[in-house]
Structure 1
Amino acid sequence: MFDTILIANRGEIACRIAATCRRLGIRTVMVYSTADAEALHVKSGDEAICIGEAEPQKSYLNIAAIIDAAKRTGAQAIHPGYGFLAENTEFAQACADNGLVFIGPKPDAITAMGNKSAAKQLMEQANVPLVPGYHGDNQDAAFLHQQADAMGYPVLIKASAGGGGKGMRIVTSSDQFLEALSSCKREAKSSFSDDHVLIERYLQKPRHIEIQIFADTHGNTVHLFERDCSVQRRHQKVIEEAPAPGMTPERRAAMGAAAVAAAQAVNYVGAGTVEFICEGDDFYFMEMNTRLQVEHPITEQITGFDLVEWQLRVAAGQTLPASQDKLHIHGHAFEARIYAENPDNQFLPSIGQIHTLVFPEHQSFCLSPVRVDSGILQGDSISPFYDPMIAKLIVHGSDREDALRKLQHALEQSYIAGLHTNLRFLHRLACDDAFMAGDVDTGFIERRYDSLFPQPRPAGLLDLAVALAAQLHQYGVSCSQNPTVSADPWDQNDFWRANDLLYRHFVFADGDQTSSLQLRREHNQWYLQHNDTTTPFAWQVEATEQSLRVTITLGDQRLHATVYGQTPEYDIRYGKIQRHLTYVDPLAVDPLAEEDNGGGLTAPMPGKVLSLAVQAGDTVEAGQLLLVLEAMKMEHAITAPHAGTVSELFFNAGDQVTEGAALLAIEITDN
């Protein structure tokens, strides 16, 4: 086994790899950019080397700097994690050329599977089923358009060298094809330095099921069963589970055999994932990821094996720790990816500092009921340079129903403040009737949109009462029937009045929705008035380190709730209800209030202007494309919010912009 390895990555996966190395007694060297100098992964290793500036090209994608760091620190091997250089043939070869073991497959296997078109040709020869499509080298736009027309719509355009949903577009009609192709190629070139694409028939209600495989240098290849990764947004996974719901033993065996055949076709070594697209009883090879997957923990949960340890042992020349007949499924597992993003704004990534970070009690490895993999601490910031993942919340149960209950409960016990996250969306998803029934497919979020994105509704009396109790607690006000006797009534912080009567108005907001209620006290009895109904009111608040335990009594109804946050922001949880309410202080001034800028548009986050679709003087319609902004590895189309005339452009294509920067100005057309 190795004495020292360098981990050429950052964030949660770097911390995850370091944990296994620490358990095995292997010394670890971390690398970091100037933006990550205080990051958790830097503190998780035995040594750390700064390899460059914040931009990935100058640090985590800088092959020379990483090789130099490994040689300087005496590392014998390099673990690439996932993303960055994990599937980079040049990097794997550079490791070999410098006497370093690359903890992953050989360069020729990465090359064979890294190009989706070439990989599908190999799979066809190995009799692995393929989705009908064009996987050739002819990249002429007119030719590709002709192929798509002949195939029939909808079709899927995919970057051949891609992954993670980048360089991928669904096209539903012929007149949309060329624009989608151009956008796809541009994004593929930016992300992978390769704009080669393939075209496939787009399946209407497919499931995305992948098989974890492992192979060693002694000719042994096994699969560790499947993961269902169907629930996605922007072609990126949101919640994964293992095993797949509804999977029969016969189909599992067939897909496992196809995955093993795919790996053997390229003499694969190490950890890999063969991804299939499934519809009905049919399954088709989609691609192979020649690395450890983000969702590998759920495979660890149901098998009881540490896959990073397997990687290290295989890379050191040892045989696989288990043969196929020794591998069995134990229970069920889910993984929910917690991102800094705003689901209510097309899942746009969010940046900023994490002021509060709360997770349920958890352990760190296999078969634990709750596991959290993260590279983020409270007080850390999400930057525009890297993927906005905050953590992976992983649960394991005796069966799917048990695991799902644990997932729902774990999400209810998680809280993050300081920026937008998808936590409440994940909870709604986990509680969705169709998801609970296992009725999933890659279009699940769109299909269940009304359930997952319910229309805002005014807060009810229970929600308002809980928020009010929390606000009164912040004031130090108690509803005790036996207040402490004092000679001075002003010692009592309980809204005491000389005539023992109180009437006070409170307003709480949920987004654009506001709700009001009145608090009354008459002769030491409290009442709430809401929508012309008056109800006796009592409350108790117990403060814990991370939350408030609130008990309210309204007439003959009693409710126990957990409240996260502090004035004016309250996150209320009870049962499966989650609601965020903001206390509207009548004396507060909104520091963010701005005058109308007359139609100017600002950058939603730091990024680069990729292309401009208009010029000064152009007349535009509402919804018309104005420019394309690249931020946090994704393209974002900026469209006109209303009709008007472009009066000025403030940036050119290729310019970097900061968050909130004015991009252009539109003079509103008079009606």
Structure 2
Amino acid sequence: MFERLLVANRGEIAVRVMRTAREMGITTIAVYSDADRDSMHVRYADEAYNLPGTTVRESYLNTERILEIIKRSGAQAVHPGYGFFSENTDFARAIESSGVVFVGPPPKAIEIMGDKISSRIAATAAGVAGVPGTAEVLQSAEEIITFGNQHGWPVAIKAAYGGGGRGMRVVHSASEAADALSSAQREALASFGRDECYLERYLTWPRHVEMQIIGDTHGNIVWLGERDCSCQRRHQKLIEESPAPDFPNDIRVQMGEAAVKVAKACGYYNAGTVEFLYQDGQFYFLEMNTRLQVEHPITEAVTGLDLVELQLRVAAGEPLGFAQHEVTHRGHAIEIRLNAEDPSAGRFIPSPGPITRFDRADGPGVRTDAGYEAGDAVSQYYDNLIAKLVVWAPDRERAIARAVRALHETKLEGVTTTIPADLAILTHPDFAAAQHSTKWVEDRLDLSALPVGPTANDTDTSPAPTEVVAEVNGKRVAVKLFLPDVGPTPASRTNQTSNASPTPRSARPQGSTSSSGSGSGNVTVPMQGTVVKVSVEVGQEVQVGDTVIVLEAMKMENSILAERNGTISEIKVQPGDTVGTGDVVAVIS
């Protein structure tokens, strides 16, 4: 087993990986951007090194700099987490070429399965049927129109090198094709460093059911059970559970065996997830995620296995140590993602800013995997996942009740979170009856009554002791000073960090991604972000609902729309500009 592990990621997944590594006696090494200088994963690690820059491409997607830190830190292995470089073949090859262990599948498997197009081809060759779609990279909007006319609308544009709903757009008609393709490509490039996309038929009322697999370098591959991830917004998951409800066991076995076939077809080892769409008693191969999944804790809860430990042991060359017939399942587990988003009226607007209070739930069968503590700031530059609340109970009914109880105990203030929407889902009769689908949250769940904005309380943030952080030649060194009568420093865990200086949440205009601006004609933005597209020009006539700009915040694109009819008399921003909450970006006369 290696002794020094670098985690090439941030947030809760970096902390989660480091926790298991620490239990195994492995020294943990973090990397951090300028905006993450005092983040929780940095404080938790044994050592931490700076990745100069703020944006993802400057920092966490900077292969050259990460390789320098690997050499300098003496890391013997690299865990990529999920997102960023976790499914990047070139990164995996660069790690292995440097003589360091990549904690993941072989680069060739990532190349086949990390590319969603070639994964469809490989799954078909293995005898596992997928959703009807294309096997070539999209070159133009005309290809979308031709596919839609042939297979029927709507169709889905998907990032070939991504996952988690990033770089995915649903196209309902030919007129939407060009803009949807451009938007999907921009988001894919920002999130994964690649902008290739492909097409799939968009099923009408499917459930998203995925199968966790694990394999070793000795030829053993097993499936560990399925997860139902159908509660989604913007094709990104909110709540997951295992086992899938109202799911026949014969289908479960068939899906597990199909997942193993797909894995064997590409010479896979380490942890991976084969995703399927399930509708009318049939399942279709969707894609394979060649990495650890966000929702892996619920599989851990029902199997009693530590997937990160298994990953590390497999990467070190150890056999799994168990066979398929030895995998057992017990009870029911639910994971709730706690995101910094305002879900009121179903808008799910990104909500970056400082966390003023974070009280975690406790009690039997409750686990919280977090990447933040009170005093930390959720940055506009990265994913908005704050934490994952995981509950386990002997059966689904009690797991739902425990999840509701735990959500009520969780106090997250300073930013608006998805907790009200999570409660609306868990307490809905459709969810109890397992009648939901991937479209249920956006199409049928009524979120109009959800409160708008946060309920922040003043808190005593006096630090004791004061923690002073020094950065020596790019390496972070933290020193605690017991100094009386000294105010809190930006590095204090219990105080607001220097990672960001957002506008106070109470001053945030209550707009939405589909309606921004005021009666005066000032078009304002409801969150911090970066302008990626200006859709109008001075002198152009606009109507209510027309897109004025496209804003990227927390790795999601948000259309800022005109609230009144009129003529664009002034444009105050251009692509690449960073804007803050309430900033005026255009004027309509």
Structure 1 and Structure 2 fold alike (TM over 0.5): yes
Please state how far the C-alpha of 1:596 moved relative to its aligned partner.
Answer: 7.1
Say which SS state the counterpart of residue 61 (structure 1) adopts. coil
Question: What's the counterpart of residue 615 of structure 1?
Answer: 537
Say which SS state the counterpart of residue 57 (structure 1) adopts. coil
Partner deviation per Cα, 1:355-386 (whole Å, 9 max, x = no partner): 11112225xxxxx6000000211111111111
Partner deviation per Cα, 1:22-70 (whole Å, 9 max, x = no partner): 1111111111122222222112121111222222222211112222222
Question: What's the counterpart of residue 35 of structure 2?
Answer: 35
Alpha-carbon distance between aligned partners in 1 of 2:555 and 2:160, rounded to the nearest angstrom = 17
Question: What's the counterpart of residue 13 of structure 1?
Answer: 13
The reply on whether 1:453 has 2:445 as its aligned counterpart is no
Alpha-carbon distance between aligned partners in 1 of 2:536 and 2:587, rounded to the nearest angstrom = 11
Residues 1:157 and 1:9: Cα distance change in structure 2 (over 3 Å): same
Question: What's the counterpart of residue 186 of structure 2?
Answer: 186
Judge conservation of contact 1:310–1:321 (CA < 8 Å) in 2.
no
Letter in 1 for 2:31: V
The reply on whether 1:389 has 2:385 as its aligned counterpart is yes
Question: What's the counterpart of residue 489 of structure 1?
Answer: none
Question: What's the counterpart of residue 176 of structure 1?
Answer: 176
Partner deviation per Cα, 1:218-251 (whole Å, 9 max, x = no partner): 0000010100000000100000000000122211
Question: What's the counterpart of residue 286 of structure 1?
Answer: 286
Please state how far the C-alpha of 1:592 moved relative to its aligned partner.
Answer: 8.4
Letter in 2 for 1:665: V
Alpha-carbon distance between aligned partners in 1 of 2:412 and 2:195, rounded to the nearest angstrom = 38
Please state how far the C-alpha of 1:192 moved relative to its aligned partner.
Answer: 3.3
Of 235-244 and 131-140, more deviation after overlay is shown by 131-140
Structure 2: runs of 5+ lacking an equivalent: 454-459, 461-505, 511-516
Equivalent residues in 2 for 1:132-281 (5 A)?
132-137=132-137, 139-281=139-281
Alpha-carbon distance between aligned partners in 2 of 1:21 and 1:189, rounded to the nearest angstrom = 31
The reply on whether 1:422 has 2:418 as its aligned counterpart is yes
Structure 1: runs of 5+ lacking an equivalent: 363-367, 457-509, 512-544, 546-589
Alpha-carbon distance between aligned partners in 2 of 1:440 and 1:201, rounded to the nearest angstrom = 20
Say which SS state the counterpart of residue 614 (structure 1) adopts. coil
Alpha-carbon distance between aligned partners in 1 of 2:218 and 2:509, rounded to the nearest angstrom = 67
Alpha-carbon distance between aligned partners in 1 of 2:508 and 2:32, rounded to the nearest angstrom = 35
Say which SS state the counterpart of residue 58 (structure 1) adopts. coil
Alpha-carbon distance between aligned partners in 1 of 2:115 and 2:63, rounded to the nearest angstrom = 21
The reply on whether 1:657 has 2:551 as its aligned counterpart is no
Judge conservation of contact 2:82–2:292 (CA < 8 Å) in 1.
yes
Equivalent residues in 2 for 1:503-522 (5 A)?
none
Say which SS state the counterpart of residue 292 (structure 2) adopts. coil
Question: What's the counterpart of residue 88 of structure 2?
Answer: 88
Paired residue for 2:376, among 358, 375, 380?
380
Alpha-carbon distance between aligned partners in 2 of 1:150 and 1:130, rounded to the nearest angstrom = 17
Of 56-65 and 293-302, more deviation after overlay is shown by 56-65
Residues 1:109 and 1:455: Cα distance change in structure 2 (over 3 Å): closer
Residues 1:48 and 1:178: Cα distance change in structure 2 (over 3 Å): closer
Question: What's the counterpart of residue 339 of structure 1?
Answer: 339
Alpha-carbon distance between aligned partners in 2 of 1:598 and 1:219, rounded to the nearest angstrom = 67
Question: Looking at both structures, which has the greater relative contact order when contacts are Cα pairs under 8 Å and sequence separation is at least 6?
Answer: 2
Please state how far the C-alpha of 1:195 moved relative to its aligned partner.
Answer: 3.2
Judge conservation of contact 1:622–1:643 (CA < 8 Å) in 2.
yes
Paired residue for 1:605, among 508, 527, 536?
527
Alpha-carbon distance between aligned partners in 2 of 1:27 and 1:119, rounded to the nearest angstrom = 35
Please state how far the C-alpha of 1:593 moved relative to its aligned partner.
Answer: 10
Judge conservation of contact 1:133–1:151 (CA < 8 Å) in 2.
no
Please state how far the C-alpha of 1:181 moved relative to its aligned partner.
Answer: 2.7
The reply on whether 1:437 has 2:438 as its aligned counterpart is no
Alpha-carbon distance between aligned partners in 1 of 2:135 and 2:558, rounded to the nearest angstrom = 27
Say which SS state the counterpart of residue 386 (structure 2) adopts. strand
Please state how far the C-alpha of 1:140 moved relative to its aligned partner.
Answer: 3.6
Say which SS state the counterpart of residue 449 (structure 1) adopts. coil
The reply on whether 1:361 has 2:362 as its aligned counterpart is yes
Question: What's the counterpart of residue 401 of structure 2?
Answer: 405
Of 86-95 and 185-194, more deviation after overlay is shown by 185-194
Say which SS state the counterpart of residue 630 (structure 1) adopts. strand
What is the identity percentage for the equivalent residue pairs of Structure 1 and Structure 2? 46
Alpha-carbon distance between aligned partners in 2 of 1:648 and 1:264, rounded to the nearest angstrom = 58
Residues 1:237 and 1:592: Cα distance change in structure 2 (over 3 Å): closer
Partner deviation per Cα, 1:425-476 (whole Å, 9 max, x = no partner): 21121111111222221011134322x43388xxxxxxxxxxxxxxxxxxxx
Question: What's the counterpart of residue 469 of structure 2?
Answer: none
Alpha-carbon distance between aligned partners in 2 of 1:140 and 1:54, rounded to the nearest angstrom = 32
Say which SS state the counterpart of residue 134 (structure 1) adopts. coil
Paired residue for 1:639, among 561, 564, 577?
561
Please state how far the C-alpha of 1:316 moved relative to its aligned partner.
Answer: 0.3
Partner deviation per Cα, 1:509-568 (whole Å, 9 max, x = no partner): x88xxxxxxxxxxxxxxxxxxxxxxxxxxxxxxxxx9xxxxxxxxxxxxxxxxxxxxxxx
Letter in 2 for 1:420: T
Judge conservation of contact 1:145–1:178 (CA < 8 Å) in 2.
no
Question: What's the counterpart of residue 102 of structure 2?
Answer: 102
Judge conservation of contact 2:509–2:582 (CA < 8 Å) in 1.
no
Residues 1:34 and 1:655: Cα distance change in structure 2 (over 3 Å): closer
Residues 1:43 and 1:165: Cα distance change in structure 2 (over 3 Å): same
Alpha-carbon distance between aligned partners in 1 of 2:509 and 2:223, rounded to the nearest angstrom = 57
Residues 1:298 and 1:592: Cα distance change in structure 2 (over 3 Å): closer
Alpha-carbon distance between aligned partners in 1 of 2:509 and 2:586, rounded to the nearest angstrom = 20
Say which SS state the counterpart of residue 148 (structure 1) adopts. helix
Please state how far the C-alpha of 1:19 moved relative to its aligned partner.
Answer: 0.9
Question: What's the counterpart of residue 463 of structure 1?
Answer: none
Residues 1:591 and 1:81: Cα distance change in structure 2 (over 3 Å): closer
Please state how far the C-alpha of 1:163 moved relative to its aligned partner.
Answer: 1.3
Please state how far the C-alpha of 1:7 moved relative to its aligned partner.
Answer: 1.1
More strand by share: 1
Please state how far the C-alpha of 1:654 moved relative to its aligned partner.
Answer: 3.1
Structure 1 or 2, whichever has the larger Rg, is: 1
Alpha-carbon distance between aligned partners in 2 of 1:56 and 1:199, rounded to the nearest angstrom = 26
Letter in 2 for 1:68: E
Residues 1:138 and 1:427: Cα distance change in structure 2 (over 3 Å): closer
Letter in 1 for 2:373: L
Of 596-605 and 387-396, more deviation after overlay is shown by 596-605
Of 269-278 and 148-157, more deviation after overlay is shown by 148-157
Say which SS state the counterpart of residue 57 (structure 2) adopts. helix
Could you tell me the TM-score, scaled by structure 2's length? 0.86
Partner deviation per Cα, 1:402-443 (whole Å, 9 max, x = no partner): 111110110111111112111122112111111122222101
Number of matched pairs: 531
Alpha-carbon distance between aligned partners in 1 of 2:309 and 2:189, rounded to the nearest angstrom = 35
Please state how far the C-alpha of 1:653 moved relative to its aligned partner.
Answer: 2.6
Of 133-142 and 407-416, more deviation after overlay is shown by 133-142
Say which SS state the counterpart of residue 301 (structure 1) adopts. helix
Residues 1:51 and 1:188: Cα distance change in structure 2 (over 3 Å): closer
Judge conservation of contact 1:397–1:403 (CA < 8 Å) in 2.
yes
Say which SS state the counterpart of residue 16 (structure 1) adopts. helix
Residues 1:137 and 1:32: Cα distance change in structure 2 (over 3 Å): closer
Alpha-carbon distance between aligned partners in 1 of 2:509 and 2:170, rounded to the nearest angstrom = 39
Equivalent residues in 2 for 1:38-49 (5 A)?
38-49=38-49
Alpha-carbon distance between aligned partners in 1 of 2:425 and 2:282, rounded to the nearest angstrom = 27
Judge conservation of contact 1:148–1:199 (CA < 8 Å) in 2.
no
Residues 1:82 and 1:189: Cα distance change in structure 2 (over 3 Å): closer
Alpha-carbon distance between aligned partners in 2 of 1:252 and 1:308, rounded to the nearest angstrom = 24
Could you tell me the TM-score, scaled by structure 1's length? 0.76
Question: What's the counterpart of residue 353 of structure 2?
Answer: 352
Alpha-carbon distance between aligned partners in 2 of 1:656 and 1:138, rounded to the nearest angstrom = 30
